[in-house]
Structure 1
Amino acid sequence: MFTKSLFLLFTLCLVLNSNGQRNRKFFRKDYEYIDSTQAFYKIHTLGKSWSDAKRMCSLEGATLFYPENEDEAISVVEYLNSSQPFRHVYVGISDLVAKGVFETIDGLPVSDVYNKWSPGEPNDAGGVEDCVVMNIDGAYNDDNCAKKFPFICKKSLQSLEWNQPCNMPNLDYIFNEQVGKCYKFHVKPLNWTEAYAVCSAERSYLAVINTEVEANFLTTLTMGAPKDRVPGNFMHGAILLGFHSRLDEGWKTVRGTSLEDSGYTLWGTGQPDGKGLEQCGSMFHNGRLNDIACDQKCFFICEHDIDTLASSFNDRFGDQ
């Protein structure tokens, strides 16, 4: 009974906090809110393939945009043309599941949403056009999914939830009161560069240990993560962290300081031992530091400063 009541109380707090955040109409400072569509949008100017664009939006807690109706298409095209005019942007529509059957990323037939195509489209030119771009006039064209185009990510106001202790929309982060920061253990193994990019997309950074208290917490977080269920060929014994020696300046943290100035330099026995070949940072499961090859795939931990979003939020709204 107590556990059920605690769960209901947590759910109620989450709903109240999320509703409050919706009233403030704030998601991330790099997203623009359009009142007429009740949603947030971000234009990515660096082109990516369709699958990479979809993945990037997901990492940011959003989805690859497609217009739900003509009004939204008009609003977003106006926003696009006024800020970053492009000839084409990817939208979240493809026929990758079944050739010739165009659907949205959430499985809706394209006929059920905005469905304006350029003359003669879709035409599957060369038999390789399975993803959809929206032209600057708001009309669709099918194109090769491997091509790189700019794209737009979307977060609807109604879907917005808020991690109140961490002051961020990502609910997977855990707040540690002793350290005053939030953390997420990623169970999909990536190499150091890929992990760095994932943390950045989540408005966080690869974790940097500053104290032994923090090291102990990350050790506990690692012990509790569902690591044993993850298949694949990767290094199980190390967790990627936010330090490196890639700039020939000695060991530096991703926060721009030397590792010596970070406050924590407890290396594992015999570490670092890569002799320049292992230029990226990790920790063993006991919290001791380890150098590792940057292309080695491992689990990793992202760290989030709780005032990262708060500062931009307060700039917009002040104390409410």
Structure 2
Amino acid sequence: MLLTTQKLQLSIATLVQNTVEEKHKINKRLGNEVDGQPQIKHFRDDYKYLEGTSSFYKIHTIQKTWEQAKKRCALEGATLFYPEDQNEVDVVLAHLKETQPMYAWIFVGISSKLAKGVFTTVDGVAIRHIYNRWGHGEPNDANGEEDCVILRKEGTYNDEKCSNKFPFICKKTLQSLKWNEECNTPYLDYKYNVDLGRCYKFHLHPLTWREAVEACDAEQAYLAIINSQQEASHLVNITASAPKDKVQGWYLRGAVHLGFNYDTTEEDWRTTTGETLEQAGYAMWGNYQPDGGESERCGSMFYNGHLNDIGCEGHRCFFICEKENELLSLFDDRFGI
């Protein structure tokens, strides 16, 4: 039965690869400049495409500070929205009023954080070159503390404290959208492993464990979970081939964040999906690990593949995100493999 399952998985993986290659051939023959989802105007399920601006938008209802909002949009492969012209104001505010009518204002990607009183967008465009209708008496920089900008539902700007929290919108233009066919995702750095039927991305920007969880989630993935020795070996190979030595600055070398932590309720190490390490299929700890006690409640992997406990907040290091291949998952569910 095991051999039959492995053959079936290989056949499905081959089908996926052949489908991708055939699509590339068709696009090339037709002279298409974009592949896959851009043609059907799809970025992510949680983004809405608006024809009036040829862009995708996501309304974030969990309120954040301006910097947090900017970071979240960047993690999703988008930018913190700001209106380029009157048309975009009209289109986006109409969408906001239709879907979230209770919100009277949102943060936008405009601030004077670089130079007091000089308002520019998150991508460096001076406000005079875009939509710039201020409310009466604004900006007034109350108490010298208002360097970020909100857009009111009537279409006017007001300057606000960057540390205040507001809803916000992330934006992705159709023109900027590229597609990773093998992993069925807009994030191009994910690489498909045919044997495991999953996609992986090694992140070279060191973060804390909790920040890494957020970064993977923003890409509609999850912090990698090892389910077998084969998968552990693959993560070791990914780690070895990544250009880690080029990364400067302070971070914890020798370890990579993974998706498990210590569950104080269960008093056991569990994956972020709730399984014990043994249930998940891999529990090979490094020598004398875990050894950190209450100060190291989150999980990582040494570069050799052995597990290690690590601080959830204090240790910045590389990490690996994992994403299911949706076509393979469909077959897995159907055939019970």
TM-score, normalised relative to structure 2: 0.84
Q: What's the secondary structure of 1:183's corresponding residue?
A: strand
1:281 aligned to 2:299?
A: yes
Residue 160, structure 1, aligned to residue 153, structure 2: no
State whether structure 2 residue 216 is matched by structure 1 residue 199.
yes
Q: Identify the residue that residue 140 of structure 1 maps to in structure 2.
A: 157
Deviation at 1:277, TM superposition (A): 4.1
Q: CA deviation at 1:238?
A: 1.2
Structure 2 counterpart of 1:117: 134
Residue 301 of structure 1, aligned match among 299, 303, 320: 320
Question: 2: CA distance between counterparts of 1:246 and 1:230?
Answer: 32
Find out whether 1:211 has 2:228 as its counterpart: yes
Deviations 1:49-91 (A, max 9, x none): 1111111101001110011111110111111112223122111
Cα distance between partner residues in 2 of 1:119 and 1:213: 64
Whether 1:241 and 2:253 are equivalent positions in the alignment is no
Return the letter of the residue paired with 1:303. Answer: E
Residue 245 of structure 1: how far off its partner (Å): 1.2
Q: CA deviation at 1:306?
A: 2.1
> How many angstroms does 1:246 deviate by?
3.0
Identity of aligned residues (%): 51
Following TM superposition, by how much is the alpha carbon of 1:196 offset from its aligned partner in structure 2, in angstroms?
0.7
Which ranges of structure 2 fall in alignment gaps of 5 or more residues? 1-23, 331-337
1:258 equivalent in structure 2: 276
Q: Does 1:292 align with 2:292?
A: no
Aligned residue in 2 for 1:90? 107
For residues 221-262 of structure 1, give each alpha carbon's deviation from its aligned partner in whole angstroms, at most 9, with x where no partner exists.
Answer: 111222223333332111110011134321111122221111
Deviates more, 1:151-160 or 1:83-92: 83-92
**In the alignment, does 2:54 pair up with 1:38?**
yes
Task: State the alpha-carbon separation in 2 of the partners of residues 148 and 77 from structure 1.
Answer: 19
Number of the residue aligned with 2:16: none
Match of 1:314 in 2: none
Letter paired with 1:305: E
Q: Does 1:63 align with 2:79?
A: yes
Paired residue secondary structure (1:200): helix
- Quickly say closer, same or farther: Cα 1:158–1:164, change in 2 above 3 A: same
One of 261, 265, 268 as aligned partner of 2:286: 268
Counterpart of 1:192 in structure 2: which amino acid?
W
Question: Equivalent residue for 1:316?
Answer: none
Match for residue 151 of structure 1 among 165, 168, 171: 168
Asked whether the equivalents of residues 246 and 280 of structure 1 are also in contact (C-alpha less than 8 Å), the reply is no
Q: Which amino acid aligns with 1:242?
A: G
Q: Normalising by structure 1, what TM-score? A: 0.88
- Give me the whole-angstrom Cα distance separating, in 2, the residues matched to 1:89 and 1:23: 30
**Count of aligned pairs between the two proteins:** 300
Q: Which amino acid aligns with 1:90?
A: F
Aligned residue among 89, 92, 96 for 1:73: 89
CA RMSD of aligned residues (A): 2.1
Q: Supply the distance in 2 between the matched residues of 1:156 and 1:51 (Cα, whole angstroms).
A: 21
Match of 1:103 among 120, 143, 165: 120
